[in-house]
Amino acid sequence: MVLNQKIISLLAAGTEIVCALGLEVQLVGRSHECDYPDSIQNLPVCSSAMLDPNANSLEIDKQVKGILTDALSFYQIDCELIKKLKPDVIITQTQCEVCAVSFKDVEKALENLLDYPVKIISLEPDNLDAVFTDIKTVSEVLGVPERGEDLLERMQERLELIRHKLKFITQKPTVACIEWTEPLMMAGNWTPEMVEIAGGQSVLAISGKHSPVIDWMDLVQADPEIIIVMPCGFSIERTLKEMDVLLQQPYFRDLQAVKNNRFFVADGNQFFNRSGPRIVDSVEILAEIINPKQFIFGYEGTGWIKFSV
């Protein structure tokens, strides 16, 4: 039974989950970061960022540290708009205060704002199982558990297809996924697990753990066979503008991934950083990159590109 609940999603992944469950018509508001599917972009925007989105990686990092030092929020919520929209459900997250509007922000904004109870769904995935659990939770709270089960079944079928095709392939190249360029951060949480499914060996990050900041020489020493740059919140075009940060590092051209032309840039914003249904697309992208002879899903040019030095 589909409950006619008015939903505000303050998380891009949450918006994608709602739409994948067939409940887009119930969305009455979104965050400033929600941009998929295209049809939701006419919804009222209920949040804004305190960070300068046009700054480079280093400047954004400095802004983040400054805000943390002052104990401020990274995002501003439009309380008057939320009051006007009268939501029954608000979707947010507690996984990362920097990446999106947090549960703490929403809780503070709703304090004495509405004269009726609002359901807050707070997502906190740190691995693939948690992503699947969050989708199940959202479907149950929104009254469509059977749609959630169907969506998860289709996602698992796509992952099983990859696992099955790689069942007898024993050579697994080492893969480093870069989530931020300055300072250098490796992609943790669900990314190492996705690399493993796609037929690689993840290095310098641990599944289920937050993305670690590392020294450049740690990457040089690990010397992975494949390097994929996928900065959080950055498109391919945006990432390409900042590649000089990596190109100017010592021993960059000595890395085997660079010498063997296995250095890639992927769309971190649309795929890898979002814990929604398109997390499976991200695994398929990795499969194309790591095992190009086995997989052609059609993401090259839009989801990822090969970067030639």
Same-domain status, 14 and 136: yes
164 belongs to a structural domain: no
Residue type, position 188, single letter: G
- Give dist(CA 303, CA 36) in Å, integer: 14
**Could you tell me if residue 218 is inside a domain?**
yes
Nearest CA to 16 out of 123, 127, 162 is that of: 123
For residue 40, the model assigns a pLDDT of 96
Is there a single domain that holds both residue 93 and residue 139?
yes
CATH number at residue 84: 3.40.50.1980
Q: Could you give the number of structural domains in the chain?
A: 2
Please check whether residues 207 and 298 belong to one and the same domain.
yes
Same domain, 97 and 145: yes
**Residues 101, 200: one domain?**
no
Residues 181 and 101 in one domain: no
Is residue 166 a part of any domain in this protein?
A: no
161 belongs to a structural domain: no
Per the CB < 8 A criterion, the answer to whether 92 and 101 are in contact is yes
Is there a domain that residue 157 lies in?
A: no
Residue 162 lies inside a defined structural domain of this protein:
no
- List 7's β-bridge partners, or say none: 27, 89
Enter the pTM of the model: 0.92
Q: In Å, how far are 29, 213, 221 from 218, measured between CA atoms?
A: 43, 10, 5
Q: What is the pLDDT of residues 183-237, one digit of tens each?
A: 999 999 999 999 999 999 999 999 989 899 999 999 999 999 999 999 998 999 9
Type and span of the H or E element at 238: helix 236-240
Residue 268 has pLDDT above 50, yes or no: yes
Q: For residues 108 and 60, state if they share a domain.
A: yes
**Is the CB of residue 91 less than 8 Å from the CB of residue 123?**
yes
The predicted structure's pLDDT at residue 25: 97
Claim to verify: residue 298 and residue 205 sit in the same structural domain: yes
Range of the domain at 22: 7-152
190 and 74 in one domain? Answer: no
Predicted confidence (pLDDT) per residue in 111-156, tens digit: 777 777 889 898 988 999 999 999 999 999 999 999 999 999 999 9
Q: Give a yes or no: residue 118 inside a domain.
A: yes
Residues 142 and 177 in one domain: no
Q: Could you report the per-residue pLDDT of 66-122, keeping only the tens digit for each?
A: 655 544 456 788 889 999 999 999 998 876 555 556 567 777 777 777 777 889 898
Residues 187 and 80 in one domain: no
Q: Are residues 275 and 227 in the same domain?
A: yes
pLDDT for 168-186, tens place per residue?
888 999 999 999 999 999 9
Query: Distance between CA atoms of 262 and 282, rounded to whole angstroms?
Result: 18
